[in-house]
Structure 1
Amino acid sequence: MFCLFWYMKTYRYELKKYKNYSEKYKEILDIYIKEIETFLDKYKSFSDARKYLETMLNYYKLLAIKYRIFEGNLDKAIEFTEKCYNLAEELYKKFGYKDLKNAALFNKHIYYNLMARKYENERDFTNAAEYYKKSGDVIKEIDENIAYDEYTNYYKWLAIKNKYEKEKFEEYIDKAVEFAKKRNDEKQEYYYLGLKYDHLVKFADSLKKKIEYLKKAKEYYYKSGNRQDALFMEYLQYYYQSKYELKNRNYEKALDMLKHAKKALNKINELKVSNILISKIKQSITIDELLYNFYLYISKGNFDKSLEMLNEYLKLSSDWENTRKYKFYEYLKDCIIVLSQKNISKNIALESLQ
């Protein structure tokens, strides 16, 4: 028994050489698990012995890693992590070794962390937050920095759960930023600041305020290294700037802002994000360009060209034909046809649309 026990230890040392969970790590892991299964089966009669129980503990830990890292089976990973920490607690009570206490604490933290991820996947933000807090409360006895990470996630999910209540959202997201600072993790701190201003956009009471928040969100996301979200904020910033310029009748500027918005979308495409979402947004921008050009040609008194833009706009917007906006532009089309008649002066026509 003792010879085989120490022989198996060599696999533990081999695994330590491959900490990045490479194919070689998996290969050694699979062999190690089989060797342990042989050991456990061969020495069942020693099931109360410390070395047998410690081997069982290691077996649960390795199976949890296998299911979590290499098979993506979260439920199985949770099952064996729970077995691991329960057994470690029993062994600590029985033998009193500090390393067993640490093993119990660490695996309990992993169990709570995995449960939090499970609830994240199910979009159950309340339970996700609570399990991150439990994870932090357990691991802080061993590693304060890991605890800060868990508390950051705890407050992040509370913030997202309360994303429609401005005061609560800001309170929780600021707490997430605070713990990221304690962790001395600048990238994480910038990410949560980006998330903060990203979500504050929905509470903005003016286009100028939306643009201000989007600029801040974009800057923080870039600083955090999150280029995808930064580019999406950039797209939204230019999109709302186009709306702002349109509102102020700066039609050429509005069209220029839409061009910048499209450039940001093209950069997002390079990151291989969902092409379906990007293509839908691009289609929406194409429709907006037609509408903006309609107003631009109206402002220049070119009613034939404005009518051409409006016809194309209505054609591409036919999915929304039952909306008030669509019906408004259908009515406006009839007005443009009348105003474009040669016997109506340009000045009178323009005044009619002011």
Structure 2
Amino acid sequence: MNSFNLDKVGITVCCALLLSLFALPFVSLQPNRIMPGQSMGLLDSAGLFELAPLLLMLALTSLVSLVNARLEIRLALAFLTLLALVHGVGASASALLADAGALARVSLNGGFWMSILWLSLLITDATIRLGLRPLVRLVLVAILAGTTIAILASGHWDDLSLLKEYRNQSDFWQQAIRHLQLSLGSIIPALLVGIPLGVCCHRSAPLRALLFPLLNLLQTIPSLAMFGMLMIPLSLLAASYPLLAELGIRGIGAAPAVIALFFYSLLPIVSNTTIGFDKIDASVLEAATGMGMNARQRLYQVEFPLAMPVILTGLRVVVTMNIGLVAVAALVGGGGFGTYIFQGLGQTAADLVILGAAPTLLLAFLFAIIIDTLIALLREGRP
């Protein structure tokens, strides 16, 4: 009997899911890519035949989520409902454009995006309560990502305005590589500088008292202000030394973006390294010394492995932060997905904005999952 008790989390999320799908507009039919269109609910966007898989999976997921049923079943149904939602919105776009003009567009609306959020919460809740191992969670994310890519590659979403914007951008993958280069390019030097500084701060209280306020001050400077502050000295350097300009060190472009991200990356790396070393039990270090280890051996064989989960937590913060900040760097010619965000804002083309924002969000999520998996594996490997 206990297995059929009402689940408060399931009730809340399912009610929110159903309200999002049936009370909010699901898609919008626009006369072209810029002009506002007519918002349409789920049941108005396509026929019952096209929406039957989604409606069936919604009913099953809602019933199972209301009670404390087996978590494996809840996870599988939520996953299948997410796929049915992706299928349903593609079918809706095709149905709406069948009788529309050549320039008409179908855009995703609030009901779709909110439903994605609630289904993701259902999947996350079931995953956490199942206590799945880190690699299993990573495999689930890979399956979901692979299935989504397969649906996009199949052409099922080709009638959506978002995919039409993608096809109009011939440099999409070049901008994706640029975004990764700018996001990750500042992290390696930040690690090379930040980890030794963190170790020194752990061992020297005066250095910690001097360095941390400075790094905190850098962290409070808004990103646009940081980019602007760097443009002047970099422009002067490029004008004085043409070789630097040929190497790409100019007032606009990648140079101010990478330098600014380097400054922003230092505080999380330095502070987490310091905290990781501070948390090491002194008795462990005494035991290592008693075994005959010298200072270098103790550092690399004992202290770093024990502090690594905390250091990786700082790296997780840095990676996700940098991926988001690179979008702002497009304002100074840095490139990346932010280019589409600001182009879309200038053209009042919402789907072009989403084309830049959605990959940025997904990149941050994927890197966070990967680093979280590494942290969990390191903690599991401890005796």
Give the TM bin, normalised by the shorter chain: under 0.3
Relative to its length, the structure with more helix (as a share) is: 1
What's the TM-score, normalizing by structure 1? 0.24
Greater radius of gyration (CA): 1
Specify which structure has the bigger relative contact order, considering alpha-carbon pairs within 8 angstroms and separated by 6 or more residues. 2
What's the TM-score, normalizing by structure 2? 0.23
